Structure 1
Amino acid sequence: MRKTLTCGVLVLLAARTPAAHAEQPTESATPDARVEQRAAGYCDWVQGLGDAEAALELAPEVFGSFGVVNTGEAEGGVPLGKPKLRVTAGLSYDFVGLYRGHKIHRRAAAECRRHQALSSLQAAVRQGMGLGEDSALEARARVLQDALPRAEELVNALRADLRDGRATLEELNAMQVRLDNLRSLSTDTALARERLASRPEFPRGQRLEPLLEELRAADDAVEVATGSLRRAKAWELSVRGGYDEVFDVEQEVPLFGQVMLTYDLGHLWQGKANARARDGRRRSTTNDVDGVHQKISELLVELRSRHRTEEARLREVSALVSDLEGQLREVEALQTREIRRFRDYLLLELARLRAEQAYLTAHVEALTSFLGTTRP
């Protein structure tokens, strides 16, 4: 007959289970709200799976059995008396389950972090060379929206002068060409904004390289948690206790308690295997030619080249704008017909250059933010 040992310990363990379930890993950075929304379904999925798996690890087991047993044997193995009914029921709890449940939650949180970083990087890949162009196109559209009505007024005034014989057809054609260029630029800008709006948006203020590092760190955290779970399977430290009665047999206290520790010797060989798996996973994801790491690396090279090119172009355009603004100030005071025509040409050309300057300024600033480079 077995005596009771620690039934009270089982109640204490059951009370501690919710606290272990509530523990969650601290994330390194708060992702953009739109990224969270895109990854919400995946995060709910993996965290729901984690909660379902961890629930079985963190909660105690209830067991019971009913049958017949022999109550004793005489010399020579002859049973004494008739078999007696026996009822056993109780609780069992594995302390190692606390550790496994914690690691399951850590793995689910790391998988969510990995998917959030991956979702942002995939959005950057979809944007491609248009990354950061949304703010640049918006800046160009604002300049053109302000400039087009003034340009149309100048062309309409020139048509009236042509009818009155104060302008030539060549002058009107030259102005109409400049106006058409502005209209065409406005149309192209609107189409480009619609095209970019249909693609997944990359969060403003994010940088590509830290996101890539976050993806690597989260993926490594998934593998570390998975390896810890594999190693934890080698251990079991359980406490069992409950009710155990054999009918028609006198028992002083029909209770029992048991502590059991088991260890699988295969654990001795798991360390090197897990280390090799972790290193292999890291090299596999980094060197995958179709993976996001390779695509982002290629995109970074292209964006840095475009960043340098547009910085140089911005300096050139800014110099041209300053020069034309200076010329415009000089001719404003002159009132001859030829000077007024030259002024009108300057206004339309200046509108186009200002639109390009606004685009380049906003795009260079956006690329600077994404790449983490410093403006010269």
Structure 2
Amino acid sequence: MPILCRRALCIGIFIVAAGGPSAAFAQSPDDTSAEHLDAYCTWRGAQADAEQSLLWAPDVVAWSWGDGLYDSGELVDNGALRGRILAGIRYDFSDLYRGFLLGDEAEAACARYRAMSRFEAALERSGHIGQRAALEAQQKVLAEAIPQAKEVIEGLKAAVAGKRASDRELRAMQIRLDTLERMAQNTRDTLVQLGDAPAKSPDIHALLDAFLTADSAYQRAQAKTQRAESWELSLAAGYSHRFGDTTSAPVFAGGTFSFNIGQLWAGAATERAIDAHEVWQEKRPGGPSGKLRELVRAHQFSARADREKLQANALMLADLEERLERLAPLKGQEAVSFRNLVWFDYAQLLAETAPVAERLKEMEAFLRTMEAREAARDEDNPQEDATTYVTRRFALAYKPTPLSEIKRPATPQEELKKLTSYNPRSLDLILGNVEHEVSGSNDFAIKVPKLRVELPGSDGRLGLVRFTYDGPSEETVDFASGRSRAQIGLKLRAQDSCNVLYVMWRIDPDQRIMVSSKSNPGQHLNRECGNAGYANLRPTSVTHPPLVKPGATHTLGAYLKDDVLQVFVDDKLVWKGDVGTLSYDGVTGLRSDNGVFSDVTIFSKPRE
């Protein structure tokens, strides 16, 4: 009977009112990969169908025997059979309304479950922020490092074959290469497990708002269904016969209406309950907002740890880069082997640092989004103090040198070759003059017995001069000591005439490289200091330069870094030593005495 009723009596009402709950639950979710969402909605829709089948069907009124089933009045014939038979149908229109509300409640439950699932999925993904970017950064570093490491191994194998290195050293290097290859394999495996990257990261706050909205809608749907039980409107009709009664018609019809007056106050109470439920969802630790707060706190602690690790790694990387640069010009198998060890340490540390920097970048972007949403942060949130701020600024500002450059850092000779030539017209002539030889070039000639030149705005730590020696000058000028010689050289850190570092190539009467410091604190003019304050510096290594013959062209270069001076003649190191802590600083310059020089070009670079 209920099925007949649903098809015969109620199908018209269903079509007009809603079209049936099955149509609503047939829609596919936005996230088509989440089949459990469809399964849940199908289950809730089937539950609503089952309850609607009972509520929307009419009640069949039972018949019975007995004395005065509905009427206990006396019969005319006292000896007649007493009793009544009754059969009919009763339909409750309030049940029809509750049936529709159950369908709405099922739809609201489905929408709530979908919103909750999407929010929790986004929460789960947000727990791994920066993981893919970190792995890709590590993979990039290792993809560059491993081929270079294999080149190192091949070179070492050749050294072992030539008896220049030991098998033990080769095995130690091979272990380091194996470590890099294991890191690369683990990185590739983890990236495969992560699968394809999502097209776009979801807005977790928008998903949270959608869930809270859907949750409130579900609470209202439940409350509406419950309040529908406060009233009843039913109609009944059928056949009724009382034995022995020949005066009344054998049919009946009637209706019932009832209303619980508590409904007048239930609406306001329901709204208070829904508001309280929203507050509870916001405040409870295990609620959606609480889970998001816990995630933010976890990322704040992780970001702080990453900043500290990045700072430590940045300092170690900078130290290893400096070591590699110092080792670059050294020759011999022992120096090469030690440099290879340092390079492997650098490569592994860089492969460990790159993912930390990428993860921190995405994590800080996520935290900035969260903090922009939250007007007031929890008291137990970790606050960034001044030390951490400095750490972050240092770590994020430091850019490690690429491995391709670390493999073969620029040598001092290469740095000198990068210098820019200065136009003779831009020189600051302190004493003497130069003659511009060819228009459009920076070459000039020196014919005066004394020349003192400075390069305005230049970096006083490196310089190079190219020249052709044409013999002694026509006029010879003695020094203050009474002696004279022909020479040409560079001025480094030239503050003035009284405070300067000289790198001179003596040509006549003897040929050698001389480095001397002239220091006279507080004095600036030559008439103040004269010949005072000179100190010849001793080298830690020195070789004789080639003989300078008239008509020959040579270069003289000087490279000063960290108080260590290297002097190069025709790209070959001829002098190296520690100049100590100089009390002055200034520009690059040029000096010549008692010689004629042509095709002279002076090189330096602007001070940074």
Q: TM-score, normalised by structure 2?
A: 0.44
**1:72/1:175 CA distance change after superposition, 3 Å:** closer
* CA root-mean-square deviation: 5.3
1:290 and 2:289 matched: no
How many angstroms does 1:153 deviate by? 3.2
Query: Contact 1:23–1:102 at 8 Å: present in 2 too?
Result: no
Seen in structure 2, the aligned counterparts of structure 1 residues 255 and 79 have a Cα distance that, compared at 3 Å, is closer
2:158: which partner in 1?
161
Partner amino acid for 1:262?
Answer: S
Distance 1:96 1:40, change over 3 A: same
* Structure 2 CA distance for partners of 1:203 and 1:264, relative to 1, 3 Å: farther
CA distance in 2, matches of 1:136, 1:229: 49
In the alignment, what sits opposite 1:299? 295
* C-alpha contact (below 8 Å) 1:234/1:264 kept by paired residues: yes
Which region of structure 1 is more displaced relative to structure 2, 173-182 or 101-110? Answer: 173-182
Contact 1:94–1:238 (CA under 8 A) maintained in structure 2: yes
- Decide whether the 8 Å contact of 1:14 with 1:59 is kept in 2: no
Identity level (%): 23
Identify the match of residue 260 of structure 2 among 256, 261, 264.
Answer: 264
Distance in 1, Cα, partners of 2:239 & 2:176:
96
Give 1:60-209 correspondences, 5 Å limit.
60-68=58-66, 78-81=74-77, 82=80, 83-90=82-89, 92-123=90-121, 129=127, 131-133=128-130, 135-136=132-133, 139-140=136-137, 143=140, 146-147=143-144, 150-151=147-148, 153-165=150-162, 176=174, 179-180=177-178, 182-186=180-184, 189=187, 205-209=201-205
Residue 264 of structure 1, CA deviation: 1.0
For the residue of structure 2 that corresponds to 1:236, the secondary structure is strand
List gaps (5 residues or longer) in structure 1: 1-9, 325-330, 332-336
Contact 2:149 2:177 in 1 (8 A): yes
Change (3 A) 1:365 1:62: farther
Q: Counterpart in 1 of 2:220? A: 224
Contact 2:60 2:87 in 1 (8 A): no
What is the CA-CA distance between 1:204 and the residue it aligns to?
Answer: 6.0
Is the Cα contact below 8 Å between 1:25 and 1:106 reproduced in 2?
Answer: no
Q: Is the 8 A contact 1:69 1:84 kept in 2?
A: yes
Structure with the largest fraction of strand: 2
2:216·2:274 contact (CA, 8 Å) conserved in 1? yes
Q: Is the 8 A contact 1:207 1:371 kept in 2?
A: no
Query: Secondary structure in 1 aligned to 2:62?
Result: strand
1:140 and 1:228, CA in 2 relative to 1: closer, same or farther beyond 3 A?
A: same
Structure with the greater relative contact order (CA < 8 A, sep ≥ 6): 1 or 2? Answer: 1
Would the alpha carbon gap of residues 294 and 142 (structure 1) be closer, same or farther in structure 2, given more than 3 Å must change? same
Q: Hey, which of these two has a bigger chunk of helix by percent?
A: 1
Tell me, yes or no, if structure 1 residue 237 matches structure 2 residue 236.
no
SS of 1:290 mapped into structure 2: coil
State the Cα distance separating 1:372 from its structure 2 match.
Answer: 6.0
Structure 2 vs 1, CA of residues 53 and 128 (structure 1 numbering), >3 Å: closer, same or farther? same
* 1:99-141 alpha-carbon deviations (Å, 9 max, x no partner): 3223222322333333333334445555674x23553366357
Paired residues in the alignment total 340
1:95 to partner: Cα distance? 2.5
- Alpha-carbon separation, structure 2, partners of 1:113 and 1:269: 29
Partner of 1:5: none
C-alpha distance in structure 1 between counterparts of 2:56 and 2:247, whole Å: 34
Whose Rg is larger?
Answer: 2
Q: Contact (CA 8 Å) 1:54, 1:104: kept in 2 or not?
A: yes
1:282-361 matches, within 5 Å, as 282-303=278-299
Moved more, 117-126 or 348-357: 348-357
By how many angstroms is 1:33 displaced? 3.0
Residue 277 of structure 2 is aligned to residue 281 of structure 1: yes
Tell me, which stretches of 5 or more residues in structure 2 are unaligned? 1-6, 322-327, 371-608
CA 346–96 in structure 1, closer or farther in 2 if over 3 Å, else same: farther
Q: Which residue of 1 aligns with 2:207?
A: 211
Q: Helix, strand or coil: the match of 1:265?
A: coil
Tell whether the 8 Å contact from 2:21 to 2:49 is kept in structure 1 after alignment: no
Shift of 1:296: 1.1
